[in-house]
Amino acid sequence: MRVHTLKRAVVALALALPGAAIASVVAAPAAHADGCYTWDRTLYQGRSGSDVRELQLRMAGWAGNNNIVELDGRYGPKTAAAVRRFQAAYGIRVDGIAGPQTFRKLYQIQDDNCTPRHFSYREMDDGCGGSGWNGGPLSAAQTRQSALRTMWKLEALRKSLGDKPLIVTSGFRSRACNSQVGGASDSQHLYGNAADLVSRDKSLCQIARQARNHGFSGIIGPGVAGHNTHVHVDSRRENNQDRSTNNTYWAAPDCGIPAGNR
């Protein structure tokens, strides 16, 4: 039986029981039954550990304007601020503390393989037909992890755009695929850090402008040659494998975002 199915069964049983029994049945397992990852303590500023890093991964897209959330396992001011933005976006009490309500929402929006609900490994490894995360500068495991962080940023961007679908037209590319499509030799697509986006409901400029608030240090869109039909977003600032591209660079002149480092 799938974990989420079990959770639904427990809740259904609780609803069938009177008064006090509901709290005793639901309260304990509700926060400790997720198919991907389960937090077992409240997190706040000053705490550290692998559970903080797991939280930071999911908060990467709530970094705020021209900022990033480092995946360092230390719950500092940036992590707390990202948690507050997440809480505000999902109607949770805004206190910057990751407790049962925050975790419950994360369980609701992540799948059992830890990807956010609206994005998948399959679409992020589209390349030229899917390469299994091989053929880039990093190991397949490292590339896949980079793509996971990118997906959580995309989930936050999607939420801020009114929960309107974002379509990934290009994600990870192997070196061979990148060459085939005419990508730059140092493209962030090679690292699993990048995604090219379109939407049926939002304009490219709406995507580009909003992406500035969601941890993307690379944004290239309308007004730049080759980017008038999609918006490119990436995490070059967090790409420690290539220091030469470790700056924040945005360029979407037609959207009021002049080209340049930030």
Is residue 11 over pLDDT 90? no
Measured between alpha carbons, how far is 82 from 73 in angstroms, rounded to an integer? 14
Mean pLDDT lowest among 37-51, 94-108, 145-159, 237-251: 237-251
Domain 38-114 has CATH 3.10.350.10: no
The pLDDT of residue 247: 86
pLDDT digits (tens, 9 = 90+) for 143-170: 999 999 999 999 999 999 999 999 999 9
Measured between alpha carbons, how far is 110 from 35 in angstroms, rounded to an integer? 9
Instruction: Report the chain's mean pLDDT, rounded to a whole number.
Output: 87
The pLDDT of residue 127: 73
pLDDT digits (tens, 9 = 90+) for 23-63: 333 333 344 557 899 999 999 999 999 999 999 999 999 99
Query: Three-state SS string across the chain, please?
Result: CCHHHHHHHHHHHHHCCCHHHHHHHHHHHHCCCCCCCCCCCCECCCCECHHHHHHHHHHHHHCECCCCCCCCCECCHHHHHHHHHHHHHCCCCCCCCECHHHHHHHHHHECCCCCECCCCHHHHCCCCCCCCCCCCCCCHHHHHHHHHHHHHHHHHHHHHCCCCCCEEEECCCCHHHHHHCCCCCCCHHHHCCCEEEECCCCCHHHHHHHHCCECCCEEECCCCCCCCCCEEEECHHHCCCCHHHCCCEEEEHHHCEEEEEC
CATH of domain 119-262: 3.30.1380.10
The pLDDT of residue 246: 57
Q: At what angle do helices 77-89 and 50-59 cross, to 10 degrees?
A: 50
User: pTM of the full predicted structure?
Assistant: 0.86
Mean pLDDT lowest among 18-32, 107-121, 199-213: 18-32
pLDDT digits (tens, 9 = 90+) for 170-193: 999 999 999 999 999 999 999 999
| Amino acid symbol at 209 | R
Q: State the catalytic residues.
A: 227
The pLDDT of residue 126: 72
